[in-house]
A and B are shown apart, each in its own frame.
Chain A
């Protein structure tokens, strides 16, 4: 994709949390941040998943920026659960119309 001027575009970020480290596994949590300001999102605003899997989001045009590393369990805390482990950050560049 050739972008004429970055000033004309804004970033949308989609955070997906998948059931496993595989990008085609089921989405179990999600968040959306819209740099265009056209939509707003907040905690609890959507009970239905926007995409069934990470791969579905890619096929809808979202570009993967980052995925979680696979870290070995911390010694003596092997059974402790904590933050969601499989985070996928995706983006779209969207034409921005200030009007």
Chain B
């Protein structure tokens, strides 16, 4: 596939990026057209979907799999990729996930790869669902807000259920974009039909700084007038408000640590070391000499 810069309006918005930083994913139901979905499913059945060596420029991939090339060239998809990992990302790997019918159990919850100590750079994983996924088909399970947790792969398998866990029950053509650290697992397919999903991992080749449409950055960066100012919580779309919102499963003493993790990644993404929310880091960084 060939990759060219997209129109500014096809890039992610600041709100999208802030939600990605806060929760670790973006989901777009039914985004991919049916002709791509059908073509891709037929190629899976014919075992025609080939991978590429890790580190291959994405622009050089999928010449032999036109539906995936077409998917990646869709302006909205190309805009998401460019917003998150830049114009010329590298292909890391892909996997066609096939869950056969009548499964007796699910894949355990895990984070992909191995423990990742990068604090600002991140990979993304595109999860593409070419057909409808019903509740009985299970779908991918993922844990919003888990992406900053430094754990190693399957060590979290003991956590069978986590409050607020999500199951990708979706129409055909749904795309889920995840931060590489998100906890997830394949759901148990209790239905009588196979379930398919394509996952593609992409690496950035540039600093991930202001790659999205930042036209609304200033408007959404209005911090609270005072700590615990109730007015701040009435503006749900503001960055600081998004970063203060805990997931249902966050341990009580770690909600603020997760806010700090979000602030730190946002500082890197907007290249502003002084960005803060509710004074969490400014207070700690005050060391008069």
Name A's B-contacting residues (CB within 8 A): 15, 17, 19-20, 25, 27-32, 40-47, 49, 79-86
B161 A82 Cβ-Cβ under 8 A: no
Q: Chain A residue with minimal CB distance to B142?
A: A44
Q: Which residues of B contact A47 (CB under 8 A)?
A: 161, 165
16 pairs, A vs B, C-beta closer than 8 Å = A20-B253, A27-B163, A28-B162, A28-B248, A28-B251, A29-B160, A29-B161, A32-B160, A42-B105, A43-B161, A44-B185, A44-B187, A45-B188, A46-B160, A47-B165, A81-B261
Q: Which residues of B contact A (CB under 8 A)?
A: 104-109, 138, 141, 148-151, 155-163, 165, 167, 185, 187-188, 248-254, 257-258, 260-261
CB-CB under 8 A from B106, the residues of chain A are: 42-45
**A-B contact sample (15 more), CB < 8 A, given A44-B106, A44-B187, A49-B163:** A15-B158, A19-B250, A19-B251, A20-B253, A28-B251, A29-B159, A42-B106, A42-B108, A43-B109, A43-B160, A44-B167, A47-B165, A81-B148, A82-B151, A83-B155
A contact residues around B109 at 8 Å (CB): 43-44
Report if A19-B165 is in contact (Cβ < 8 Å); known contacts: A43-B109, A79-B260: no
Which residue of B148, B188, B257 is within 8 Å of A44 (Cβ)? B188
A17–B250 alpha-carbon span in the complex (Å): 10
Which B residues are CB-close (under 8 A) to A82? 149-151
Q: Is the CB of A44 within 8 A of B141?
A: yes
Most buried by B among A15, A17, A84: A84
B150 in contact with A80 (CB, 8 Å): yes
Q: Once the chains are docked, how many angstroms separate the CA of A43 from the CA of B40? A: 29
**Knowing A28-B248, A42-B188, A43-B106 touch, does A85 contact B161 (C-beta < 8 A)?**
no
Q: For B187, what are the chain A residues with a Cβ–Cβ distance below 8 Å?
A: 44
A86 touches B251 (CB 8 A): yes
